[in-house]
Amino acid sequence: MNTVGPVIRRRNDEVNGALIGYLPVGFPTFDESIEAAVAIVEHGVDVIELGLPYSDPVMDGPVIQAATQQALANGFRIADGFEAVRRITERVDAPVLIMTYWNPVVQYGVDRFADDLAAAGGAGLITPDLIPDEGAEWIAASERTGLDRVFLAAPTSSDARIRQAVEASRGFVYAVSTMGITGARSDVDQAARTLVERLSAAGAPASCVGLGISTAAQVAEVLEYAEGAIVGSALVNALANGGVAAVGELATELARGTSAE
């Protein structure tokens, strides 16, 4: 199993930090979503965040919402997520985390989900709407299977919530740079720096910042203080408008930010 912790540590030794890229399964088609995921790794992304389409994506911005709705209209099923992980990990040596709202995991069966993800070669889960003190079943399943578990922390999180996220996460803590829905922004919030400092003080082995990063300059800015930068909407937008070639080109550009002087 290719987990994310060693990759993030290695990239912080080699360059300024890790680049994590989000793409949804099944957009614009199932096969193209796999080709896009492979392409971003081949062009400099270190960790894949593979989104499972969901009918009520309350934390996703319009670009990702439109993509996931198209994937659902194409007939996406949970099993397609595991097949995508399997096909991607057969071709590239990069950890693949599933990003999913919690309800699909519960409906599928928490232990069954963990077993199928591990069997497919997945690294673990990012669960944006699951808080650690309600995640005992997933924590137990991930301990049993060795999967990473990534919880979120926000600028508004209390010190107690920060500690919970740090203690419960394995791989990294997802630092939400600003409150609200996802989407590319012209600036990455200053609040992210303070949040990462709080996570570090609480003992987080790694913090990766997401929500709003869309340029190499922003990647470089984030990696001044965090161990990883997460890009989502900008990659999905490139895929929507220019296909696999365009998303690969953007990944190349974003990866320049990991070694910017």
Residue type, 62: P
Condensed to tens digits (0 to 9), the pLDDT of residues 153-184 reads: 999 999 999 999 999 999 999 998 764 445 55
pLDDT tens-digit readout, 133-154: 999 999 999 999 999 999 999 9
Number of neighbouring beta carbons within 10 Å of residue 174: 27
pTM over 0.75: yes
SS3 letters for 96-140? EEEECCHHHHHHHCHHHHHHHHHHHCCCEEECCCCCHHHCHHHHH
Sign of the dihedral through C-alpha 242, 125, 79, 35: positive
CB–CB of 188/221 below 8 Å? yes
CA 237, CA 106: separation in Å to the nearest integer? 30
Backbone angles phi, psi at 66, to 5 degrees: -65, -40
Q: What is the dihedral of CA 55, 35, 91, 76, to 10 degrees?
A: 20
List the one residue out of 87, 2, 114, 104 whose CA is nearest residue 51.
104
Q: What is the pLDDT of residue 2?
A: 87
Domain limits, the chain: 4-255
Joined tokens for residue 176: 């939400």
Any idea which residue has 């990473």 for tokens? 148
Span 24-42, pLDDT tens digits? 999 999 999 999 999 999 9
| Closest to 141 in 3D by CA, of 99, 109, 97 | 109
Instruction: Please give the C-alpha separations between residue 239 and each of 16, 29, 121, 256, in angstroms, as whole numbers.
Output: 26, 11, 24, 19
- Give the span between the Cα atoms of 195 and 209, in whole angstroms: 9
Query: How confident is the model at residue 119, as a pLDDT?
Result: 98
* Euclidean distance between the first and the last CA atom of the chain, given in angstroms as a whole number: 33
Catalytic residues: 49, 60
Q: Which helix (H) or strand (E) holds 208?
A: strand 207-210
Rounded CA gap, 63 and 44, in Å? 22
Q: Which CATH architecture is the domain 4-255 placed in?
A: Alpha-Beta Barrel (3.20)
DSSP 28-76: S-HHHHHHHHHHHHHTT--EEEEEPP-S--TT--HHHHHHHHHHHHTT-
Look at residue 177 in the predicted model and tell me its pLDDT. Answer: 75
Residues, the chain: 261
Q: Which two tokens stand for residue 87?
A: 């096909």
Give pLDDT, residue 1.
66
d(CA 173, CA 196): 9
